[in-house]
Amino acid sequence: MDRAAAEKNGAMNEIKRAPVPLIEHAVSPDEILKRSQAAEAKCEQELAAIVAIPDSDRTFDNTVEAFEQSVMSYIDAAQRTGILKDVHTDEQVRNAAASAEESAGKYLVKVAARRDLYQAMKGYLAHQGKTEGLAPAQKRLLDLTMRDFRRNGLELSDEELAKLVAIRTRLTELSTQFQQHLNENTSKITVGKEELAGLPEAFVARLEKTPDGGVVVTTKYPDYFPFMENAKSGEARRRLYVAFQSREAERNLPLLQEAIKLRDEQAKLLGYATHADFVTEEQMAKSGEAVKVFLSALQEKLVEKRDGDYTKMTELKRAETGDPAAKIEPWDVAFFLNEVKKLDYTLDTEKIREFFPVETVLEGMFQVYEKLLSIEIKRVEGVEAWAPEVALYEIRDRPSDRFVGYFYLDLLPRKGKYGHAAAAPVTIARQVGDQYNAPIAVMLANFNPPSPGRPSLLSHDEVKTLFHEFGHIMHQTLTAARYGSHSGTSVARDFVEVPSQMLENWVFEKPVLDLMSGHFQDPSKKLPEETIQKIKEARAFDAGYRYTRQVFLATFDQTLHTSGPQVDIDATDQRLFAQILGLEPVKEAHFAANFGHLMGGYDAGYYGYLWAEVFADDLFTRFKQEGVLNSEIGRKYREIILARGREQEPSELLHEFLGREPNNKAFLEKIGIQ
């Protein structure tokens, strides 16, 4: 079936996908920089050829599509080396990759601001102005390309455009430096022997020991979260909390402050009142005001539930300390929420963890996705990656057995590795000539490493995180969009989390948990049914605090990007922390310095997590009604939501899958709000 016929019939999975070279990690720092320069030179040559075409000879293929393909090829090359900054075991390679990534960001800023390319697009429109003969994907590419040129300042004067380019170039530098600082951070505290009460033996056993019998606890996720949930010593929790929240404050706060100032200047140059208005124009929300209304309304609905959570935690703290005036401090929240969970739902996070060895979870998760999305996942043997624990997998379509794409799994912490959980496209799926380039994606996480006698074990929350991030991998690899700028997760930022958040619902379903669980000492023992029921009952137990915290994060982000260039970051943090979370802020903490989303593409867009969850829960209603492992509904979900990417507006995709307008009823019901 040819491309045109496949588009017409909606059978994009019939397009034959061509495998592309895997990620090459055995490269020197010098080779990385040479490849970066070569990719730029190649792109420059291709763009020059586009500009040189006389307007009378311009066609969609030699102008609009040629521009798209040149830029996507360059981005592919940049991402294949850029990923090494987050994963490679050699610090010099990481630094070279970070430098190459920064150079790529600057180059793309220049390309986006080239008047000759904008004039080429205008020349095509002037001489070939009719768009009736274009396929829907072609027309959308043209519309979005012209919109992007406008947003990139091509309607500004030369002086203003030069200023905009300088701003965006500097923002690229700031973003790279901010994340690199966090990747390389080694913050830690020393905990005395008398402060180890409550910590699981297996957790303590794997920590670095001190001469006096204490341990060293880092601010990396596998150390931080178990410690904050289990350590009985409030003073030890306070020290770790401050260390965690203050990571890279001295270096990163000035970078963020400068970025906020530059983003405000950019917005004003382009005619927007605020950076939030600039960002949301191309999102589902469409304006900063719409986001403000959304967050304010949700915050108001959550106050009663938030205060109910605090009441339970406060009662426990007063009983434990014997102090009738004790109050909940920020470093108490994780510990006492865990205590509430144990008491009210008889749920012990560490006991539950024993049923979720990583390999067992992965095997079960693959089975779920295979059945749901009509695919087959196989590990590719004999392929070396950047670290020995990294694995490569191949995806094939069922029942056609057609090759779909690759993904890498890199799940354990290492020095210098990216510190959060994420999924990143490395080679972007797209049509190139008469073939469809298959995608390659990478999933990163920092789960507990194995210890003597125990494999890497996941908490239920980490199982949910794994399922979520793998949802992004599916979005990136199962795409069938014609153009790279439309494929996979290249969708509106406040829609990009919808597919992954929708899939989080699966880890609360017994058939799914039966597949993914098995005690590490006896795999035949599945997570008990009564425990599954209690997990489901406890799902909204901390909804008041948890969603209020999300409102705080999103409101903080929006406030920084709507309050002008000189906003006081720490003061805003502390004011909103007290106002929204209702807790007394910690003066020594500098949370914004390690809020990576603010410098990682979610600036003025963090609200998208909450926004997307509303639609994600609505999507899940179809599976809830028709079966969480219903392959027919799963296939429709794959073809409508995952495959089309940015080729259609999110609202159109949601309406087509649901058969109605989306609403927030399922979301509010889930968190216990009428």
Tell me which residue has tokens 């125990």.
454
Rounded Cα distance, 375 and 478, in Å: 9
**129 pLDDT more than 70:** no
3-class SS string, 239-306: HHHHHHHCCCHHHHHHHHHHHHHHHHHHHHHCCCCCHHHHHHCCCCCCCHHHHHHHHHHHHHHHHHHH
**Could you write out the DSSP letters of every residue in 71-96?**
HHHHHHHHHHHHTHHHH-S-HHHHHH
Report pLDDT for 9. Answer: 39
**Could you write out the DSSP letters of every residue in 636-659?**
HHIIIIISSTTSS-HHHHHHHHHT
Rounded Cα distance, 461 and 334, in Å: 13
**1 pLDDT more than 50:** no
Q: For 496-514, what is each residue's pLDDT tens digit?
A: 999 999 999 999 999 999 9
Rounded Cα distance, 402 and 340, in Å: 49
**8 pLDDT more than 80:** no
Give yes or no for a contact between 517 and 576, defined as CB atoms under 8 angstroms apart.
no
Rounded Cα distance, 640 and 633, in Å: 10
**7 pLDDT more than 70:** no
Measure the CA dihedral 48/49/51/53, to 10°: 160
Q: For 629-667, what is each residue's pLDDT tens digit?
A: 999 999 999 999 999 999 999 999 999 999 999 999 999
Listed by start position, the domains of the chain span 3-112+114-151, 187-245, 358-543+608-670
Give yes or no for a contact between 601 and 490, defined as CB atoms under 8 angstroms apart.
no
**584 pLDDT more than 80:** yes
Report pLDDT for 127. Answer: 82
Measure the CA dihedral 101/103/107/108, to 10°: 20
Runs of H (alpha helix) within 405-542: 460-477, 498-503, 510-516, 529-537
Rounded Cα distance, 649 and 316, in Å: 48
Closest CA to 631 of 369, 365, 362: 369
Give yes or no for a contact between 559 and 347, defined as CB atoms under 8 angstroms apart.
no
Report pLDDT for 19. Answer: 85
The band of 367, judged by pLDDT with boundaries at 50, 70 and 90, is: very high
The band of 484, judged by pLDDT with boundaries at 50, 70 and 90, is: very high
Mean pLDDT for 151-166 is 96
Rounded Cα distance, 579 and 604, in Å: 20
Average the pLDDT over each of 18-22, 58-62, 300-304, 439-443 and give the range with the smallest value: 18-22
Report pLDDT for 130. Answer: 61
Q: If DSSP codes are grouped into helix, strand and coil, which group holds residue 408?
A: strand
Report pLDDT for 15. Answer: 67
What is the token pair recorded at 468?
Answer: 């979520």
Mean pLDDT for 112-122 is 97
Average pLDDT, the chain: 94
| Distance linking the first and last C-alpha atoms of the chain | 50
Helix 115-127 to helix 136-151 angle, to the nearest 10 degrees? 140
Four-residue CA torsion sign, 393, 394, 396, 401: negative
Residue type at position 190: T
**198 pLDDT more than 50:** yes
Q: If DSSP codes are grouped into helix, strand and coil, which group holds residue 600?
A: coil
What is the token pair recorded at 257?
Answer: 């402050």
**447 pLDDT more than 90:** yes
Report pLDDT for 132. Answer: 65
Q: For 508-544, what is each residue's pLDDT tens digit?
A: 999 999 999 999 999 999 999 999 999 998 888 899 9
Instruction: Please classify residue 56 by burial: count the beta carbons closer than 10 Å to its beta carbon, then call 0-12 exposed, 13-18 middle and 19+ buried.
Output: exposed
Q: For 265-307, what is each residue's pLDDT tens digit?
A: 999 999 999 999 999 999 999 999 999 999 999 999 999 999 9
The residues with which 410 forms a beta bridge, in sequence order, are 444
Q: How far is CA 491 from CA 144, 235, 426, 476, 602, in A?
A: 12, 44, 16, 11, 13
Q: What is the CA radius of gyration of the chain?
A: 25
User: Which residues are marked as active site?
Assistant: 469
Q: For 30-46, what is each residue's pLDDT tens digit?
A: 999 999 999 999 999 99
The band of 131, judged by pLDDT with boundaries at 50, 70 and 90, is: low
What is the token pair recorded at 548?
Answer: 């209020």
Report pLDDT for 192. Answer: 96
**2 pLDDT more than 70:** no
Domain 358-543+608-670: give its CATH code.
Answer: 1.10.1370.40
Sequence-distant contacts of 622-627: CB under 8 A, at least 24 apart: 622/657, 622/658, 623/505, 624/505
What is the token pair recorded at 464?
Answer: 């949910």
Report pLDDT for 246. Answer: 96
Residue type at position 21: P
Rounded Cα distance, 442 and 22, in Å: 11
Mean pLDDT for 418-442 is 94
What is the token pair recorded at 520?
Answer: 């590490």
**436 pLDDT more than 50:** yes
**4 pLDDT more than 60:** no
Mean pLDDT for 93-110 is 96
pLDDT cut 90: percent of the chain above it: 92
Tell me which residue has tokens 């889930």.
670
Rounded Cα distance, 407 and 410, in Å: 10
Helix 460-477 to helix 358-373 angle, to the nearest 10 degrees? 40
Q: Give the domain 3-112+114-151 fold.
A: Glutathione S-transferase Yfyf (Class Pi); Chain A, domain 2 (1.20.1050)
